Amino acid sequence: MKIHGIYNADGGIIGELQYVLGKIMGKAHCSLCDITHSYISKKKSWKALESRGEFEINLLHINEQEPDLREFTLGITPCVLAKEESKFRILLTSEQLENCNKSVSSFEEALHNSINSD
């Protein structure tokens, strides 16, 4: 199973600047961004999650997705999903990410629960 986390923002310098300005003006929000990053860089707690190696999460911006993934996530970002064989399955919705309240440990627990609910 391959896990993808899709931000509700475009990548690249312009995309990042647009997101930051939108966030400051209250017009842009991404709960996955809030979980993985502080204002400047990745959170230490997120880096610790990555280093444990339990989950390999491919974090992507909207404009960095392959066409099939982009089509699947259209209008539902941010989200976390799994690709199993050739099918995608939502693991965490935008609402579930928001309920993590910017907490990496809450995210990890929610992801565990979603993966183990099958």
Which domains can be identified in the chain, with CATH numbers? 2-115 (3.40.30)
Question: Residue 15: what pLDDT?
Answer: 84
For 29-64, the pLDDT digits (tens) are 899 999 999 877 899 999 999 999 888 999 999 999
SS3 (DSSP) at 80: strand
At 61, list the tokens.
């911006």
End-to-end distance of the chain based on CA atoms, in angstroms?
13
Report the percentage of the chain scoring pLDDT > 90.
70
Which amino acid is located at 97 in the chain? L
0.85 exceeded by the pTM? Answer: yes
For 86-97, the pLDDT digits (tens) are 899 999 999 999
Taking each continuous run of H as one helix and of E as one strand, the counts in the chain are 6, 4
